[in-house]
Structure formats: structure tokens, C-alpha cells
Amino acid sequence: MRLTLAVLALCLPALAQTPWRDQGLLHLAASPHARLHPVPVRSVTLQPGFWKARQDVAIGRSIPTLLALLEEKGTLDNFRRLSGPPAGGAPAVARRGPLYTDSDLYKWLEAAAWSLAVRPDPQLEATLDKTIATILAAQEPSGYLNTWFTGEREKLRWRQQTSGHELYCLGHLIQASIAYYRATGKRTLLDGAQRFVDYLLRDFGPAPKRPLLTGHPELELALAELYRTTGNRQCLQLAAYLFSGVEQERLKLRPRDLAYMFSGQPFTSRTAFEGHAVRALYAATGAADYYLETGDPGFRRTLDLLWADLSSSKMFVTGGVGSRPSDEAFGEPYELPNRQAYTESCAAIAGLLFNQRLLAATGEAKYAAPMERALYNGINSGMSSSGTLYCYRNPLAATAKDRIRNPWYDTCCCPPNLQRTFAALGAYYYSTSREGLWVHFYDNSTLDWRLESGAPLKAVVKTGQPWRGDVEITLRPSKQEEFTLFLRIPDWSLKTRLSINGRPAPEAPAPGAYLALKRVWTPGDTVALTLDMETRLVYANPRVPEDNGKAALQRGPLVYMLEQPDNPGPSVFDVALDHAAPIAARFQPALLGGVTVLTHRGLAYTRPLDAAPLYSFQPAVPARPTNLTFVPYYAFHDRGPAGMTVWVPVR
């Protein structure tokens, strides 16, 4: 009880400092090592355009249908059966689903909470309140809350830390509770999550307390955000303990566990990503959060090493991550197979979160580039245009035999992960810093927020992105204000044009960097960018075995693919790009909800390659001209399973 009072005492100043409504997507306002501070989710409203269409589907269709599925599959009943069971008796209904289903509901709750922040919906809010009551009714007086390790499995509690997902579920509970708090100001779930954390703080930690391990990292980032929300520094210390790797002996961890979990050994002893991609990237994300709060130079060194490893040899061109179905794991450097790619939606999102933290720490555009790559491609592909089919895997090549888009997965981590990303999307677009406002991604949207001086600031972005290169930003400070507007010039925009209030700037901004425009801004000032929308061939490092001699097409932030429905001629695996022939772009409003298609006079092999020998002393040469049509990768299999490939040989 003493501890709880102490916690509350510690919370109050931080909470007083920033009202719940004003806390950012990540609440970094007081984080000493954050250069950038994300804006609140509620402060950005998407306007009609590319991403609003996706957000509309996510909020209007995907979130409600997933709740129905979670009900149908028993995920909520797993909580209900624990509240008010017959005295002394076992619950009447059996628990359903694998041991981590609690986290699916929590992540769905987080998604629904962020949707409330951008689009208030009293009926949904009432559903959430009821759901939260259902969850908390299953919480034990101790604070413990997990529907798997309860009843007949209570004796297994904390005995299966490498595989049990107890802390993973808690992490998502915390994140859901924070989202709901920031969306509504309601603390019920937040207090429940804190009670569980208090239970951990009481009993677990370095000897003589009981040992603790995140077998599936995730709690680490949640603890950091909980600290930012409540001000209770013990949460951060618990994260530090989880990163310390001091429990290898007490928990009898094997080297294979340490690699697979990316946990259990000192985080600062890591030099490369390995093991389960989502675990590793969540761990690194949590470590980046820890760095944002502490500035620990050992963490920074490790984060830099890991980021370099990821971005130089382990990321797909779609921003997808994770090469091996076996162990859902990273592979060796450059092991980036296209059809066998595991590229779990959750891993692409984890990569987004990892880069989001490093971007906040530094303001360096090199961290925003892979965020954009993932958002537009390898994350966007994870939810169908209908909002009811999801990808667990997002490979870069597939056949008509591959069933990749499905309405349900027993391991239902990806669908709500996609939903929470789309629901909160606008808050990824903007940050503030002491210097001014940062715009990371250009999408039709309005920002209603303030500078860090406290001066109110609205901004309106109008753009044809990702199909056209025009971007117009109108700034509406409440009065004249001097600050810097940081505009990210994407690495793919090799020739960018800039004008301010209609006056063209003499010099072209450099790609792959933030353009810093420092001046006194008057309400109504406009900045216009014309991004370079030339279609480009992307080449992979020749060390990537499967992409040698091939190219992918990229136009703006979008990676394209050849898919069979658009190419009624030869198999998409039997053609090549002609490097001398042009690529034309044309917007087709009726196709795939409206996309720019790319057409090209390419080359086909004279006979289908599946009738050609496996090995030959003469190379097969694609010599027959053929028309090729490319569409954006994110829509793969949206029209059903079909042959599909991102990388195409170049002649």
C-alpha cells in the first residue's frame, strides 16, 4: 500500500504537466534525449486522399469486424469465464485459443482507442468501456491478469517465461490503457495495468526477488510509455532490469533462447539482429525508448549497430522484415528471399516503431525513409482493400497457389497491429521540436496543434501523393511566428522543386534530408513542393542472392509489382524489363480503388520457362517483346491469389 501511494505521488507532477489530451502518440515532451516530439493522435485529421481511404476502412470496417471475430473465437469469453466463477469451482466454459490471445484483444482495444481519438464515436466508446470492465473483472486482487495462466494453469505462472507470453500480454495491456487514456481521459484500464506492474515491482527483480524475462519482448516499450504517462520511474527501472541480461543463470537460458528471443542477455552486447524478427525489433524499440529517457551511450552504440545491420542487409525493398518461416526469424545478412520471405506484418510495424524512436532521438531523415517504405508498401499490404482480409506474411513473390490474405489467424497479432497503425496514422506525419515543426510524410491532412513555445499552430497539407508530386503546405499560426519548418525531401525525389508563397526557390532541396526553412511565418503562408515522380528502377546490392540482375520499379514512395491479372500474356515469372525502353505512368481511377499503373514494353522468353531445362549450356534469352503492366505492391492478391513478383530481371 505504501508503494502505491509513492507511485501516485510520483505520477502527479508528470500528469499535471501534460493533460491527457495533449500527450503525443509517443509522449516524449519530457524525454531528455528526444529531439523530436510526436504530436497527439487527435491533433491530425486525415482529409480525403490515399490514406484517409485506408483509415476509413480500418476504422469503419476492420475494427468492428475484428471485434465480432474475437467474440466468435472466444477471446472475450476467456475473460468472462474468470469473473464470478462458482465459488470454489472451475469456470463453466473452457478457455479457447492459444496462450497469447489476451494480447489480441488488448491490441484491438488500442486500435479502437486511437480511432476514438481521431473520430469520436459514443457507441464505440461504450463498447470499449464494457470491454474494459470485462477485462478488469478478471484481474486478481494481486494485480495479476492473464486468462491462460489461471485456474488449472495457475501453478505454471512465471514458470514458462521463455514461451509463456505473460509479459507480452501485459505490454499490450499497458499500451491499450495508455491509448484509451489519451483518447478519453479515462484511467480505469490504466490503473488496472499499473496494478499489474506494481505486482511485478513488488515481487520480481534482481535476487532476492524472483527473476523476470520478456520471452517475447514488448513490455519494455510499454513500460517506457507508462513511465512517460505516469511519471513512475520504477517502470523505467524495470525495463532497465529486463535489458540487463542478469537472469541467464537463474532462468537457465540456453544460447538458442537468447538468440531466438533477442532477450535475456545484456542488450548492449548485441551487435546484429537475429532470431524472431518481431521479438528482436520490439526489443530494439524498447531499448530506443530507454535511450530516449536515459541517453545511455551503450544503448545508443548498440542501437546504431543494429540499425546499420538492419538497413544495410536485412530489410526488404518493401520495408518488410524477417526472412525465414522457420522461427519467424531474421536470416543471414543479404538473405532476402522473395517468395519464401516471412515478412510478417507485425515485423514491418515493429521496424516502423524502431525507426520512429530513432527519428525522434535525432531528427535524421535516414530513419524516416524506411518508415515511409514500410508504411506505403510492406505494412499497407497487410490489410486488404475490404478491410477484412489480413496478411500474416507479405512476400515479394507469390503464385496462385499461395493463400496469403485471410480473414482470421489463430495467432491474431497482425490484424489489430495493422489497425492500431492505421488508426493513429496521422500522428506519424508531424513532430515538433524546440526549433519548430517537422513534416515527415505528405498526405492530405490538417494539423491542429501548437509550437513548443506554446503558440497555437495549424497546418494544412494538400497533395496528390502518392500518385502526383504536388505538395502544398499552408501554415496558420495564430499570429506571425518565427520558427523552422522542417520538410523531409524523400530519397527518391532526386529533383525537387520548392516555392514559398508562390516564389520558386533558386536551389533544389537535397534528397534524403530535411529541408529547414527558418523564417517568420505569417498565417496563410504556403510552401509548395513538387516531388520527383519519375519511375525508377531500384537495384539491390548484388550480395542479395535472389535479386541479382533484377530490378524493382518504384514511383514516389510506392514499390510496384507485376501481377498476373494485369498481364494476360506470359507468366510474370517469364518476362524481363528492357532497360532501354521507357516506363509510362497513368492513373486508372477504376483499378484497385484508383492507382497509377506503370506500363512498359518488356521482353518475354520465347517459350514458357517451366518447359525449359533446369540447367543448360546456353542461357535462356528473353527476346520476344511483350507489354508489361505494373501496379502497386500493397495491392497484391487483393483480387485473389495470382502470380506476383516485385523483382524482375533486366535485360
Q: How far is the CB of 619 from a copy of itself (least distance, A)?
A: 4
- The distance of closest approach from Cβ of residue 340 to a copy of itself in the complex, given in angstroms and rounded to an integer, is 7
Q: How far apart are CA 608 and CA 217, in angstroms?
A: 47
Q: φ, ψ for residue 358 (rounded to 5)?
A: -70, -35
- The CA radius of gyration of the chain, in Å to the nearest whole number, is 25
Return the C-alpha cell found at 170: 501485459
Min dist CB 291 to a copy of itself, Å, is: 24
What's the min distance (Å) between Cβ of 492 and a copy of itself? 8
- The CA distances from residue 273 to 177, 326, 586, in Å, are 30, 16, 40
Nearer to a copy of itself, 57 or 369 (CB): 369
Sheet with 430-433, strands from edge to edge, namely 37-38, 430-433, 436-439, 481-489, 513-521
Closest C-alpha among 380, 360, 282 to residue 322? 282
Q: How far is the CB of 370 from a copy of itself (least distance, A)?
A: 10
Give min distance, CB of 333 to a copy of itself, in A.
7
Which of 117/540 has CB closer to a copy of itself? 540
Q: Which is nearer to a copy of itself, 386 or 606 (CB)?
A: 606
Phi-psi domain of 264 (left: phi exceeds 0; alpha: psi -120 through 50; beta: other): left
How many CA atoms are closer than 13 Å to the CA of 208, on its beta-carbon side? 0
Nearer to a copy of itself, 408 or 539 (CB): 539
Name, in order, each residue with C-beta under 8 angstroms of 86's C-beta and a sequence gap of 6 or more.
Answer: 92
One-character DSSP codes across 366-426: HHHHHHHHIIIIIIGGGB-TTSS-EESB--SEE-TT---EES--SS--HHHHHHHHHHTGG
Alpha-carbon gap, residue 15 to 11, rounded angstroms: 6
Main-chain dihedrals φ then ψ at residue 340, nearest 5 degrees: -85, -5
Residue that the C-alpha cell 551487435 belongs to:
271
C-beta contacts of 587-591 below 8 A and 24+ residues apart: 587/467, 591/631
- Least distance in Å: CB of 555 to a copy of itself? 12
Distance CA 569, CA 565 (A): 10
State the minimum distance, in angstroms, from the CB of residue 575 to a copy of itself.
10
Q: Is 545 buried (19+), middle (13-18) or exposed (0-12) by CB count in 10 A?
A: exposed
Q: Least Å distance between CB 383 and a copy of itself? A: 25
Residue number, 468 or 536, with CB nearest to a copy of itself: 536
In the complex with a copy of itself, the residue whose CB is nearer, 206 or 549, is 549
Q: Least CB distance from residue 308 to a copy of itself, whole Å?
A: 11
Residue 35: CB minimum distance to a copy of itself, A: 25
Which is nearer to a copy of itself, 53 or 537 (by Cβ)?
537
Kindly state the smallest distance separating residue 491's Cβ from a copy of itself, in Å: 9
Contacts of 589 (CB under 8 A, 6+ apart): none
Residue nearer to a copy of itself on the CB measure, 244 or 571 = 571
Residue with smaller CB distance to a copy of itself, 593 or 608: 608
Name the residue type at position 17.
Q
Type of residue at 154: E
Q: Give the pairing type, strands 436-439 and 481-489.
A: parallel
User: Footprint of a copy of itself on this chain (CB under 8 A)?
Assistant: 311-313, 315, 317, 325-326, 331-333, 335, 337-340, 397, 399, 492, 494, 536-546, 548-551, 573-574, 605, 609-610, 612-620, 622, 649
Q: Which is nearer to a copy of itself, 639 or 651 (CB)?
A: 651
Instruction: Report phi then psi at 597, rounded to 5.
Output: -100, 155
- Least distance from C-beta 570 to a copy of itself, angstroms? 12
- For Cα atoms 575, 578, 582, give the angle at the middle one, nearest 5 degrees: 125
CB nearer to a copy of itself: give 399 or 406: 399
Rounded CA separation 64/70 (Å): 10
Rounded to a whole number of angstroms, the minimum distance from the CB of residue 135 to a copy of itself is: 36
Q: Rounded to whole angstroms, how far apart are CA atoms 169 and 163?
A: 12
121 vs 304 by CB, closer to a copy of itself: 304
Q: How far is the CB of 623 from a copy of itself (least distance, A)?
A: 13
The one-character DSSP state at 340 is S
- The alpha carbon of 265 is separated from its chain's Cα centroid by a whole number of angstroms, namely 25
Angle between helices 365-373 and 345-362 (to 10 degrees): 160
Which is nearer to a copy of itself, 545 or 625 (by Cβ)? 545
d(CA 190, CA 136): 10
SS3 for 155?
Answer: helix
Looking at the Cβ atoms of 295 and 549, the one nearer to a copy of itself is 549
453 vs 541 by CB, closer to a copy of itself: 541
| Cα 457 to Cα 464: distance, rounded to the nearest angstrom | 23
Residue 298: phi and psi, rounded to 5, are -65, -40
**Could you tell me which residues come within 8 angstroms of residue 508 by beta carbon, excluding any fewer than 6 positions away?**
495, 496, 497, 498
| 566 or 574: CB nearest a copy of itself | 574
Nearest distance in Å: CB 325, a copy of itself: 7
Contact 41, 114 (CB under 8 A): yes
Asked whether the CA dihedral 381, 383, 387, 389 is positive or negative, the reply is positive
Provide the 10 A C-beta neighbour count for residue 27. 23
